[in-house]
Amino acid sequence: MNPEKLPSTNESAVIIEKLDLLPHPEGGWYSEAYRSDDILQTHSLPDRYKSPHCFSTSIYFLLESSDFSAFHRITSDETWHFYLGSPLVIYCIFPDGSVSHILMGNNLNEGQLLQFTIKRNCWFAAKIKDINSFTLVGCTVSPGFEFPDFELAGRQNLLKMFPQNAALISDLTRM
């Protein structure tokens, strides 16, 4: 394993190695687990898509300790699936500036969700609830994810759009 990829916990180190996870631009670690062989041509897709897309993609996504998934958005709905580790909080900022906090985990008695879908073009970020731990989730996108569909939020631009959410935006952006 590359020494620059050393994670903070032994269990997450094993997961990173076994799943061949790489650093993700939004934070955390990921690897593509599935990409459909079937392709939807651009003329068959809504106008927001500028190129052909496969039917569906899925990834593994791991966050550790104080790392976070920075605010970003994509042009498709994205379903997150909780697998193991600490509960995870997903923060969504809607076009009207309202915010929701979704707690993912496997304790259904505490209202944690095993699965949650983030609607397209919603700004969202995530972080682990418990310090000194990790979270492993899966993310499924349909039509399939392509990096041109991904927009990482710039802190200043997001603050201009949603000044009422300044503390949350400052905490969960990198630039």
Per-residue model confidence as pLDDT tens digits over 24-42: 999 999 999 999 999 999 9
- 8 Å CB contact between 144 and 55: yes
Letter for the amino acid at 124? F
Q: How far is Cα 125 from Cα 112, in angstroms, rounded to an integer?
A: 17
Inform me whether the pLDDT recorded for 4 exceeds 50. no
Token pair 């900022």 is found at 93
Token pair 């899966």 is found at 138
CATH number, residue 31: 2.60.120.10
Give residue 6's Cα distance to chain centre: 21
Q: How far is Cα 88 from Cα 137, in angstroms, rounded to an integer?
A: 9
- 8 Å CB contact between 57 and 34: yes
Inform me whether the pLDDT recorded for 1 exceeds 80. no
Contact residues for 38 (Cβ-Cβ < 8 A; gap 6+): 54, 55
Q: Which tens digit of pLDDT belongs to each residue from 51-80?
A: 999 999 999 999 998 899 999 999 999 999
The share of the chain scoring above pLDDT 70, in percent, equals: 95
Retrieve residue 150's tokens: 């991904």
Q: Could you tell me the pTM of the whole model?
A: 0.91
pLDDT of residue 64: 94
Which residues form the domain of 167? Answer: 3-171
Number of domains in the chain: 1
